[in-house]
Structure 1
Amino acid sequence: MAAPARPPSAAPAALGLRERKKIKTRLAIRRAACRLIAERGYEATTVEQIAEAAEVSPSTVFRYFPTKEDIVLTVVLTDGYDPMLETALRARPADEPPIESLRVLLHQTLGAMFTEAPEEMEQRSRLLAEVPAVRARMAESMSQAGRRLAPVIAERTGRDPADLQARVFTSAALSALQETAVYWAERGCRDDPAALLDRALDTLGRGLTL
């Protein structure tokens, strides 16, 4: 799931030469990885091969992406993206139900991923469904994002920042994005993922009612 796409509400900042070079390198690594994985499969693709295809050293790959899983998962509430989500969440209307605030943010995330790289979104979702290591790393990233966003949800609902219910609620909403991606891939990427995400979030709002 390129460098993290910004939510529509976040104003783009001017980037210096160094930052532009970093983004260019990250893009080269990620695109090389996606191409090689499509050709050879995830397990058969090594970091060394990715580095060679991106024309960088393996140490450079690891400097930008701690694990191979991170290369394919970048932009999914990871790599500095969740601070922007935190800012966007704080900017939502004070009287908006928490599930609707999170719905807006997750739809922005999903929309940005499809706008920037729809084919990579399909590949990433398939890897989530098929590769346990990728799914585990995604769950870890979601957990980290949840710990950052849960205090905001708690504050917006008049709770203590460490409130357990706010933490569980936020984690469940973020997990909905992962389960939506896996479900979408398992069904051949034919459905509308935005509609699937709404279905998942609606379930949190009303419970398992028919």
Structure 2
Amino acid sequence: MTGETGTSHRERSKARRREAIRRSGMRLFAERGYDGTTVADIAEAAEVAPRTVSMYFPSKHDIALSVPDEIAARLTAVFRDRPGSGFLDVVDTWLTGEADALDPELLALLTAMFEANPALKAHGSSQLTEAVRLTGPALAAATGLPESHPMHAVIGAAVGAALSQYFGTVLRHDDAPGTHPLFMACLRALVDTARQGAPAHPRII
């Protein structure tokens, strides 16, 4: 029991240290800019050694995109854990979970960092687009378009962009409960439009 308690304490300490490094980095990226912040600056702000920063995050880029990476990973995990569910149902479940999982203070840091560093925001958006791309089979089943159909890629990109914009809206206005139903209605309209245009026997030229 003592060994388990000791391990649990170490894991919590590591998690707190990682989070302190991440938030310090994001805060400095917002205040000084990504290029104007060094690993040494982040280490000083987090009260750790530069080597410790590198143990948790191999690069500044990993710190800056850690939140979008985790959001995208949770989307992929929900699809993996619910293979029989429809695309829209899984997205709905995932977004509901995100509203509970994301810390308002962390979201505020993310917003400030993205506003100060537009290039980072573009990279963060691409993470969601890539996660949607990986859910291709579920999206194809929802639209009726085979994954080889040209419009499948278009719809996938549109859904990824819509999700990115949704998070941007929530970050700016902090109204996930109010925005969520309207967003899901828009997403359903997008998928329904694709489904109506799907040929019964698509011929790809």
Normalising by structure 2, we get a TM-score of 0.65
2:118 maps to 132
Report the Cα offset of residue 33 of structure 1: 2.3
Residues 95 and 87 (structure 1), Cα distance of their counterparts in 2 relative to 1, 3 Å cut? closer
Moved more, 41-50 or 166-175: 166-175
Residues 16 and 110 (structure 1), Cα distance of their counterparts in 2 relative to 1, 3 Å cut? same
Matched, 1:30 2:22: yes
Q: Deviations over 1:50-75 (max 9, x none)?
A: 11222334344344334434424423
Report the Cα offset of residue 125 of structure 1: 2.3
Report the Cα offset of residue 162 of structure 1: 6.2
Residues 201 and 92 (structure 1), Cα distance of their counterparts in 2 relative to 1, 3 Å cut? same
2:189 maps to 206
2:158 maps to 172
Whole-Å separation in 2 of the counterparts to 1:205 and 1:156 = 10
* Structure 1 residues not aligned, in runs of 5+: 1-14
1:111 maps to 100
1:181 maps to 167
Q: Deviations over 1:151-199 (max 9, x none)?
A: 44446778766666555444433433321233345xxx44513432443
1:42 maps to 33
The answer to whether the 8 A contact 2:27-2:113 is kept is no
Residues 95 and 109 (structure 1), Cα distance of their counterparts in 2 relative to 1, 3 Å cut? closer
Whole-Å separation in 2 of the counterparts to 1:16 and 1:151 = 39
Size of the aligned set, in residue pairs, is 184
Residues 156 and 193 (structure 1), Cα distance of their counterparts in 2 relative to 1, 3 Å cut? closer
Moved more, 129-138 or 17-26: 17-26
Determine which structure has the larger helix proportion and give its number: 2
SS in 2 for 1:89: helix
Normalising by structure 1, we get a TM-score of 0.64
The answer to whether the 8 A contact 1:28-1:54 is kept is yes
Report the Cα offset of residue 141 of structure 1: 1.7
Matching of residues 184-199 of structure 1 within 5 Å: 184-185=170-171, 189-199=172-182
Matched, 1:71 2:63: yes
Matched, 1:89 2:79: yes
Residues 131 and 200 (structure 1), Cα distance of their counterparts in 2 relative to 1, 3 Å cut? farther
Q: Deviations over 1:123-151 (max 9, x none)?
A: 21233344212212202322332233224
Whole-Å separation in 1 of the counterparts to 2:149 and 2:91 = 17
SS in 2 for 1:75: helix
2:198 maps to none
User: Quick one: percent identity of the two aligned structures?
Assistant: 31
* Structure 2 residues not aligned, in runs of 5+: 1-6, 191-205
